[in-house]
Structure 1
Amino acid sequence: MTTTTDIQLLTPSHWKDYELIDCGDFEKLERFGDMILIRPEPQAVWPKSLSNAEWEKRYHIKFKGRSATSGEWLKKNPKLADRWHIAYRNDLVEIRFRLGLTSFKHVGIFPEQAVNWDYIAESVKAIKNPKPKFLNLFAYTGGASLIARAAGAEVTHVDSIKQVVTWANENQELSGLQDIRWMVEDALKFVQRELKRGNTYHGIILDPPAYGHGPKGEKWKLEDNIRAMMRDVVQLLDPEEHFLILNTYSLGFSSVIVENLIRTSFPAVQNLEVGELYLQATAGTKLPLGVFGKFRKFK
């Protein structure tokens, strides 16, 4: 008998400091706090819902790409800050972020990940172990790390880029948190060492890029490395209580691929959910932003 899992479409429901206003013509118009940005968006292949004149009237800063990987920010008012703060809160926890204008169009958060943050907070709170342990792989500026720590977990944060780990530490301080364990390390090598040490975790999230490099030049290519990563990561799960999220943003990966990866890596999986994350524009369109697979087991 073939096992099938319903495919879910999920979008954040708690964001007050973030809004996708419109998207189309390979761009998106977004509000982060009081700042409204225009950024490139390769998924937005449809026409804009609002007029170009409306976009021009609303935005404060827009990104102009020089290449596929870099560009510059153009400000309506030169006095606008390059950095500012926003908050995220759900029914269980609240965290804060320092945002900033980077040369590769990012500002320090991926708003669609709030769906995964909610799942993390709920799962950490449901674990009966008084000291749940959480591992964040490919952790970027630490949204998942902050949420897990605020919910009461002991957190290990792993990313290969020192600058973004430093950024994540700033977000920890802004959020009034402490004692996250910071690791500037190649994620796959870290997982393999943890296996040798016999360490386990109650919760794990991995959000791997399509391509990347470790701190010592280690190469990561999603389709080449994800199978070995999943095979090893599931062995780090506490056998009694656990949850795991695999999140991918790659045009070549579907939710069915993610489901197959999880089921073949962890045949004992329970309560598996798979689907797609998207942001709902207030102008009406949905912007797809990656696929996920997640599961959990509690006592």
Structure 2
Amino acid sequence: MNLVQLIGEPWDEYGLVDSGGGRKLERYGDYRFIRPEPQAMWAPASEDWDAHGEFVPGSDEEGGGRWRFDKPTPEGGWPLAWDDVRFTAQTTPFRHLGFFPDMAPVWSWMREQVADLDAPSCMNLFGYTGVGTCAMAARGAEMVHVDASKKSVEAARANAALSGLEDAPVRWLVDDAVKFTAREVRRGRRYDGILLDPPKYGRGPGKEVWQLEQGLPGLIADCRKLLDQDSRFLFLTVYAVRMSALAIGELVRQAFADLGGTVEAGELGVREEARGLALPTAIFARWSR
């Protein structure tokens, strides 16, 4: 199993401007924001951070906190773009801004895996606001987008509309990702690729409880059953847990041992503009044909 890094580079409408002292300064189009970042243990390049707002974390380990704004910021969000995909950025109660910029190299990688297929069939589990779904649909993929949050799926559909993908072949599903995947296995379905970004903890629309450490092995096993010798990829990201890339890489390696192909694991990160250093953000494991 190979250990690799996927580092997101800045683009016109997003960049990690500076980081350090447990915080990071990012630009989202015309707006700049400061957010907590425990992994930025080094000193920042500059002490003078000019931002529109900052997320002030709560005192407990489980999160919480609030945004403090120093300059006017659109309450309803504002449009951004990555490549040929448009979407809305917006400050959320969960400290992020409606998408995960470190996923940009993942979106590019998934496109590469199916570039030679006509209308590949792919699934985005825990799909959130759908930027990954739109990235694939914009290149002709037939997508199944699953998230337990009705609000997130509505935001994903709105992002698809911004990208001119209202009529793209996307199934938008408000459903429990684990239960839906199990049903797809029973139906005998197959996919060319699967992206999954499970949370540490969550609840489905029927109050189903999800805990990553307990639920992930079974979910990966079911995802394997939806992929076959002609499938191209599975990409798993894991955020905010005390877990190793080696651990999830071994989980995927064992599940996909009979399919051959390549299993890699490692870290996602974002390139800082000030000094070019890489800020780690998450761990991942992936299988590809």
Short-chain TM bin: over 0.9
Structure 1 distance, partners of 2:140, 2:97, is: 27
Residue 137 of structure 1 aligns with an amino acid whose one-letter code is L
Say which SS state the counterpart of residue 268 (structure 2) adopts. Answer: strand
Say which SS state the counterpart of residue 252 (structure 1) adopts. Answer: coil
Matched, 1:21 2:17: yes
Corresponding residue number in structure 2 for 1:274: 265
Offset of residue 173 of structure 1: 0.4
Residues 124, 148 of structure 1: 8 Å contact kept: no
Corresponding residue number in structure 2 for 1:197: 187
Structure 2 distance, partners of 1:80, 1:11, is: 28
User: Among 73, 80, 92, which residue is 1:80 paired with?
Assistant: 73
Matched, 1:250 2:246: no
Corresponding residue number in structure 1 for 2:125: 137
Describe the superposition over 1:27-59 as per-residue Cα deviations: whole angstroms up to 9, x where unpaired: 1100011110011123223332311xx11xx21
Residues 160, 186 of structure 1: 8 Å contact kept: yes
Offset of residue 14 of structure 1: 6.3
Offset of residue 220 of structure 1: 1.0
Matched, 1:121 2:86: no
Residues 148, 205 of structure 2: 8 Å contact kept: yes
Offset of residue 250 of structure 1: 3.4
Q: Percent identity over the alignment?
A: 38
Say which SS state the counterpart of residue 8 (structure 2) adopts. Answer: coil
Structure 2 distance, partners of 1:233, 1:181, is: 18
Corresponding residue number in structure 1 for 2:55: 63
Corresponding residue number in structure 2 for 1:214: 204
Residue 8 of structure 1 aligns with an amino acid whose one-letter code is V
- Point out the more displaced range, 38-47 or 225-234: 38-47
Corresponding residue number in structure 1 for 2:251: 261
Describe the superposition over 1:102-155 as per-residue Cα deviations: whole angstroms up to 9, x where unpaired: 12212101100011100111122123xx33111000111112101110111110
4+ residue segments displaced more than 4 Å:
none
Structure 1 distance, partners of 2:9, 2:44, is: 23
Residues 23, 35 of structure 2: 8 Å contact kept: yes
Matched, 1:170 2:158: yes
Distance 1:259 1:243, change over 3 A: same
Say which SS state the counterpart of residue 22 (structure 1) adopts. Answer: strand
Instruction: Give the alignment's TM-score, normalised by structure 2.
Output: 0.92
- Point out the more displaced range, 255-264 or 224-233: 255-264
User: Among 87, 102, 105, which residue is 1:112 paired with?
Assistant: 102
Structure 1 distance, partners of 2:38, 2:203, is: 23
Structure 2 distance, partners of 1:145, 1:291, is: 20
Matched, 1:146 2:137: no
Offset of residue 216 of structure 1: 1.1
Residues 124, 152 of structure 1: 8 Å contact kept: no
Distance 1:280 1:131, change over 3 A: closer
Residue 85 of structure 1 aligns with an amino acid whose one-letter code is P
Offset of residue 84 of structure 1: 0.7
Corresponding residue number in structure 1 for 2:223: 233
Offset of residue 292 of structure 1: 1.4
Offset of residue 24 of structure 1: 1.7
Say which SS state the counterpart of residue 262 (structure 2) adopts. Answer: coil
Residues 200, 241 of structure 2: 8 Å contact kept: no
Structure 1: runs of 5+ lacking an equivalent: none
The Cα RMSD (Å) is 1.6
Instruction: Give the alignment's TM-score, normalised by structure 1.
Output: 0.90
User: Among 81, 89, 92, which residue is 1:99 paired with?
Assistant: 89
Say which SS state the counterpart of residue 115 (structure 2) adopts. Answer: helix
Say which SS state the counterpart of residue 126 (structure 1) adopts. Answer: coil
